[in-house]
Amino acid sequence: MDWKIKENKKIDIPFDLNLPEVLVRLLAGRGIEGSEAVREFLEPDYEKGVHDPFLFSDMGKVVERIAQARDNKERVVIFGDYDADGITSSVILKETLETLGIAVAVYIPDKRSEGYGMNLGAIEKLAEEETKLIITVDCGITGIEEVERARELGIDVIITDHHHVPEELPKALAVINPRTGNSGYPFLELAGVGVAFKVAQAIFEKLLPQKKEQVKWFLDLVAIGTVADCVPLVGENRIFVKYGLLVLSKTKRNGLLQLFSVARLNIDENNVPSTRNIGFHIAPRINAAGRINHANLAYDLLVEGDIAKARVFALELEENNSHRQKITETATNEVKVLAENSFKDKKLIFAVGENFPIGVVGLVAGKIAQQFNKPTAVLQKGETESKGSFRSIPQVNI
């Protein structure tokens, strides 16, 4: 994001906040104007700023169906995603449902063999295991076919997602996505983990009122997923991250403590981490698992209660991350040479190679796009079809 000062524009200076005019002008340039908006941005307040989860028009149905799963002792599966946003979302809902006494499993697809989102094979496998309810996190909004198949197999699906909403929605039992036209929710920029947190909040409020305050202890995970997913840090996201960084500094989660230790991150009560710590150190490690092998390793790390086991997972994750760095660098150098030789006069860069590892093609495309300031595609060549990632460049507003 660029900061531009609008010198000529008349702005309303909130004198009550006693701020330097240049700051007020900078904020106005970002559309943050007036005492209330400026205060909200500079001093995010959990009690004042976090919205009622039941503003989601489908939230009542979600809580009701989950209560039914608890009462009937049904098997519930969280269908997650392999990136930091999807993994943290999965952990939050899994632990919330467990607090309710529900037998819950988490299914995270394999980035390399299954790809993103639900797939028919996975749904059929979950049906064989007698799953009665699937709750998606950070995915599902395009899963028309999979929801249909689940319904045929006697499984209800609740979709929680934050991605762009297609014209036709899956016929799920409930859809919690702030971006659907009739979601009822006032803040559209939540990450997948923000949406999962809203569901957790609703469950604690209605079904675990005596433990209601506990839900805030998930904010460390919410901060990780929110920063990792690069959603704008305004509104509720800003509150989640501000408080989440504090929770992260006091986290009791063995997996995170071991990750900090192995990565040599100096994070504790006296050293509150920054969003940079998440963006550059914590999230890349969590993401490395799915890129190199399977995201289950990062998930297992985050939910592990035993310190010794958490240590083993953290060391393995560290190894995944080093490997990820190495193969990304090799592929990036290869694409760089190609870009310089063959795409100098072209408006975009298009690289296809048999050896580009599918787990990191997105990272490579991102690096090349940024370096050459051209939209970039990097694909792993397959026998009949090739898979890859496209990355664009920021639009210049003049």
Question: Rule CB under 5 A: which residues touch Mn ion?
Answer: 85, 138, 192, 229
Least distance to Mn ion, CB of residue 136, Å? 12
Q: 115's torsion region: left (phi>0), alpha (psi -120 to 50) or beta?
A: left
Q: Which residues, including other chains, have CB under 8 Å from residue 122's CB and lie 6 or more apart?
A: 79, 107, 109, 114
- Specify the residue, 140 or 353, whose C-beta has the smaller distance to Mn ion: 140
Least distance to Mn ion, CB of residue 308, Å? 32
Decide: residue 39, CB within 10 A, 0-12 exposed, 13-18 middle, 19+ buried.
middle
Evaluate whether 203 touches 156 at the Cβ level (below 8 Å): no
- Specify the residue, 38 or 302, whose C-beta has the smaller distance to Mn ion: 302
- Specify the residue, 74 or 229, whose C-beta has the smaller distance to Mn ion: 229
- Specify the residue, 146 or 229, whose C-beta has the smaller distance to Mn ion: 229
- Specify the residue, 140 or 170, whose C-beta has the smaller distance to Mn ion: 140
Least distance to Mn ion, CB of residue 127, Å? 26
Q: What is the C-alpha separation between 205 and 212, in angstroms, rounded?
A: 6
Least distance to Mn ion, CB of residue 227, Å? 12
Least distance to Mn ion, CB of residue 138, Å? 4
Evaluate whether 181 touches 152 at the Cβ level (below 8 Å): no
Least distance to Mn ion, CB of residue 134, Å? 18
Q: How far is CA 342 from CA 16, 295, 337, in A?
A: 58, 35, 8
- Specify the residue, 192 or 353, whose C-beta has the smaller distance to Mn ion: 192
Q: Copy the structure tokens of residue 276.
A: 């940079």
Q: What is the C-alpha separation between 318 and 301, in angstroms, rounded?
A: 12
Phi, psi angles (nearest 5°) of residue 45: -125, 120
Compute how many other C-beta atoms are within 10 angstroms of the C-beta atom of residue 214.
Answer: 14
Q: Copy the structure tokens of residue 300.
A: 């297992």
Compute how many other C-beta atoms are within 10 angstroms of the C-beta atom of residue 17.
Answer: 13
Q: Copy the structure tokens of residue 389.
A: 């990632």
- Specify the residue, 58 or 138, whose C-beta has the smaller distance to Mn ion: 138
Least distance to Mn ion, CB of residue 18, Å? 38
- Specify the residue, 84 or 157, whose C-beta has the smaller distance to Mn ion: 84
Least distance to Mn ion, CB of residue 329, Å? 26
- Which H, E and C letters describe 98-117, residue by residue? HHCCCCEEEECCCCCCCCCC
Query: Alpha helices of the chain — where are they, by DSSP H?
Result: 21-29, 35-42, 46-49, 59-71, 84-99, 120-128, 144-152, 192-207, 219-228, 235-249, 254-262, 275-276, 283-292, 296-303, 307-342, 361-372
Q: What is the C-alpha separation between 218 and 93, in angstroms, rounded?
A: 10
**Helix, strand or coil for residue 396?**
coil
Least distance to Mn ion, CB of residue 183, Å? 16
- Specify the residue, 115 or 154, whose C-beta has the smaller distance to Mn ion: 115
Least distance to Mn ion, CB of residue 161, Å? 8
- Specify the residue, 40 or 138, whose C-beta has the smaller distance to Mn ion: 138
